């Protein structure tokens, strides 16, 4: 149809481009993952994640208030558990006065409108660094799910709005839904990590929580590939997401982010619940490292990646850039 149709007419200047832009970002599109440590007035930067800190509960609460003022409406929280509290049962995970439970109560008391989604998995509590209970050299599915139900109910009792199972055990969404309902928490939602791949992008996160698989005096899996997904697979991700929705998930997640946008779009086209995408620690660290060396423009690549994740079908983006991106957008 050229010259009647000229695509460049809609690109002449920023005003026109903004009028016809198909995808937009706002701070409410973001969820901020936060790492919580024991003690008071503790703020320790994670070396492999510049600008991201482990904070004690008092400083976490102050940060949450800042995030809310910027327009961010959700936080995904993780805890750094003391070594003496770790074992193979994960029992500290459902301690009503544990670090996670204290953090949930403190955040909800200080900022009731902030949506709190605590992580549900045993790896921060495991002496072996795995997401479940080790039996006969493997992560045993059903006993792990029993433990996760107790963990999730304790989070709900502390005031969590959603629980976020990241463990990838079979059948855990149904059991969590049944357990929450039986305990009277029908309105507590489940954001399931449905398509969580066995990815090399998680390294800095495991530094933050010391949750990588470890050498042990018993036989344990050397990695998490027996429960996290093979990154060569696409149809399996759709199957997992559909299964979680059928079991009662209110949201599903794809993890990691930018390298898996084909999966995000496939799942978005298949399910009828919100889709969350986790732009993970390795993706964050790569941008930080390249921009520190002057190889990339930090803010431009940050916003481009976030926009691409949203464009692919994400309703919510869990990202370590949440605060920086919100500040950028608010300018």
Please list the active-site residues. 196, 255
SS3 216: coil
| Cβ pair 33, 78 in contact under 8 A | yes
CA 200 to CA 283: how far, in whole Å? 10
Percent helix / strand / coil, the chain, rounded to 5 = 45, 20, 35
Over the range 277-303, which residues count as b (16 or more CB within 10 Å of their CB) and which as e?
bbbbbbbbbebbeebeeeebeeeeebb
In this structure, how many other beta carbons lie within 10 angstroms of the beta carbon of residue 242?
Answer: 16
Sign of the torsion angle spanned by Cα atoms 11, 17, 22, 27 = positive
**Maximum CA pair distance of the chain?**
74
Two tokens, residue 41:
């007035």
CA 21 to CA 253: how far, in whole Å? 26
CA 240 to CA 196: how far, in whole Å? 10
In this structure, how many other beta carbons lie within 10 angstroms of the beta carbon of residue 233?
Answer: 14
């Amino acid at each position: 149809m050229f010259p009647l149709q000229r695509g460049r007419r809609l690109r002449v200047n920023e005003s026109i481009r903004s009028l016809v832009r198909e995808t937009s970002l706002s701070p409410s599109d973001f969820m901020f993952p936060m790492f919580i440590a024991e003690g008071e007035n503790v703020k320790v930067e994670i070396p492999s994640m510049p600008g991201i800190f482990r904070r004690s509960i008092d400083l976490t609460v102050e940060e949450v208030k800042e995030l809310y003022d910027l327009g961010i409406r959700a936080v995904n929280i993780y805890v750094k558990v003391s070594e003496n509290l770790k074992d193979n049962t994960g029992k500290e995970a459902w301690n009503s006065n544990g670090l996670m439970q204290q953090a949930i109560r403190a955040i909800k008391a200080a900022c009731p409108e902030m949506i709190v989604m605590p992580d549900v998995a045993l790896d921060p509590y495991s002496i072996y660094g795995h997401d479940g209970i080790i039996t006969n050299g493997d992560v045993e599915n059903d006993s792990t799910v029993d433990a996760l139900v107790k963990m999730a109910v304790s989070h709900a009792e502390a005031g969590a709005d959603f629980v976020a199972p990241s463990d990838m055990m079979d059948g855990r969404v149904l059991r969590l839904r049944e357990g929450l309902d039986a305990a009277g928490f029908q309105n507590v939602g489940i954001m399931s990590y449905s398509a969580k791949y066995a990815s090399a992008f998680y390294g800095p996160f495991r530094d933050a929580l010391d949750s990588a698989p470890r050498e042990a005096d018993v036989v344990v899996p050397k990695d998490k590939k027996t429960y996290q997904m093979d990154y060569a697979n696409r149809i399996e991700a759709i199957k997992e997401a559909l299964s979680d929705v059928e079991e009662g998930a209110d949201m599903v997640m794809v993890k990691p982010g930018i390298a898996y946008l084909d999966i995000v779009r496939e799942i978005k086209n298949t399910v009828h619940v919100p889709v969350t995408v986790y732009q993970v620690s390795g993706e964050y660290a790569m941008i930080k490292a390249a921009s520190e060396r002057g190889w990339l423009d930090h803010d431009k690549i940050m916003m481009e990646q976030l926009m691409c994740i949203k464009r692919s079908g994400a309703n919510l983006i869990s990202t370590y850039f949440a605060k920086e991106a919100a500040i950028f957008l608010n300018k």
